[in-house]
Amino acid sequence: MFNSFKKLTESLTKTKDNIFGKISHVVSRRKIDDELLEEIEEILIEADVGFSATMRIIDTVKEKAREQRLSDGEEVIELLKQEITEILVQDEHPLFKPGDHKPVVWLIVGVNGVGKTTTIGKLATYFSTQEQKKAMIAACDTFRAAAVDQVVIWAERAKVDIIRSQEGADPASVAFDATQAATARGVDILLVDTAGRLHTKANLMEELKKIRRVVQKANPQAPVYTKLIIDGSTGQNAISQVKVFTDAVGCDGIIVTKLDGTAKGGVMIAVAQELGTQVDFIGLGEKVEDLQRFDAATFAEALVK
């Protein structure tokens, strides 16, 4: 836990002018007043929290500061942390439900280039090394150039089996075969790599629904979870992505990637506030081990440090 905090904090404070170092900088030796709150507002918006979510957070903090008769600027940090953590964790959110049958199927979906395939490599590694589960991959992106070759390399890196077909094959049929194979081989978790698709393309969203149906058909007892991958540098469009993917194939959790850059992923706060969807993991690099369980308090802490 300590390590994970360190890496996230390091990443989130890596910018040269250290945007998030700034809240602690801004509040020191200041009184809580409108001017201070406005500066905090700016910092939150620059972390992609978004206009409305930021306004709501600022209003709550203002209200709480008044109720608790706080005046010292430094005390705002604690309030902010609390508020952000509360928004991010709304209820118990286990990765699996008790009594889940084997194999559990994770449908990995998202818009183009966000890091689905890379995350699959990391997840396969995570499940086999950290949770002693038998993982397998289904190469269902049969569309993009060399997508199958790419995910095959990740399967090798993670040392797990992969079910594949040739480029141009029907992704649903690969998903069907993979689910059957996973069932037969006693796999604990099947990770399904799907082609990137913009949520605005109805025909491609239909294709995802079909993949989901077919998995269910191949093994009606297999629990299917949809995990949406969001690029950490995405702005307010993430809200639209979560909405539309949820409507089409459900969304049991989000994985935010590329947080090793200088983007803060603050839009997750707006997503949680508006849609109640929670984050499961964060991606922090391009190697198999660059994946961490999401911890709201750590995230909030890193954000307002």
Ligand X SMILES: Nc1nc2c(ncn2[C@@H]2O[C@H](COP(=O)(O)OP(=O)(O)OP(=O)(O)O)[C@@H](O)[C@H]2O)c(=O)[nH]1
Residues contributing to the site for other proteins (CB under 8 A): 14-15, 42, 45-48, 50-51, 111-115, 143-147, 149-150, 152-154, 167, 198-203, 206, 231, 233-238, 240, 258, 260-264, 267, 286
CB of 115 to other proteins, least distance (A): 6
Q: Which residues pair with 11 in a beta bridge?
A: none
Please state, in angstroms and rounded to a whole number, the distance separating the CA atoms of residues 288 and 56.
Answer: 37
| Under 8 Å between Cβ of 107 and 211 | yes
In which residue are the tokens 């803060």 written?
A: 264
Q: What, of Mg ion, ligand X, other proteins, none, does residue 73 touch, CB below 5 to 8 Å by kind? A: none
DSSP label at residue 31: B
CB atoms within 10 A of CB 87: 23
CB of 119 to other proteins, least distance (A): 12
Q: Which of 22, 84, 88, 118 binds ligand X (CB under 6 A)?
A: 118
CB of 275 to other proteins, least distance (A): 16
Q: Please, what's the b/e burial string for 43-52 (b: 16 or more CB within 10 A of its CB; e: otherwise)?
A: bbeebbbbee
Q: Which of 147, 263, 269, 296 binds ligand X (CB under 6 A)?
A: 147
Q: What, of Mg ion, other proteins, ligand X, none, does residue 284 touch, CB below 5 to 8 Å by kind? A: ligand X
Q: How far is CA 253 from CA 13, 29, 80, 178, in A?
A: 25, 40, 24, 22
Query: At 144, which amino acid appears?
Result: R
Q: Which of 237, 285, 293, 305 binds ligand X (CB under 6 A)?
A: 285
3-state secondary structure of 267: helix
**C-alpha of 259 from chain center:** 10
CB atoms within 10 A of CB 128: 18
Does 144 bind ligand X (CB under 6 A)? Our answer is yes
Q: What, of other proteins, Mg ion, ligand X, none, does residue 51 touch, CB below 5 to 8 Å by kind? A: other proteins
Region 111-150 residues binding Mg ion, contact defined as CB under 5 A: 116-117
Does 63 bind ligand X (CB under 6 A)? Our answer is no
Which residues contact ligand X (rule: CB under 6 A)? 110, 112-118, 141, 144, 147, 195-196, 198, 257-258, 260, 283-286, 290
Question: Which residues sit at the interface with Mg ion, rule CB under 5 A?
Answer: 116-117
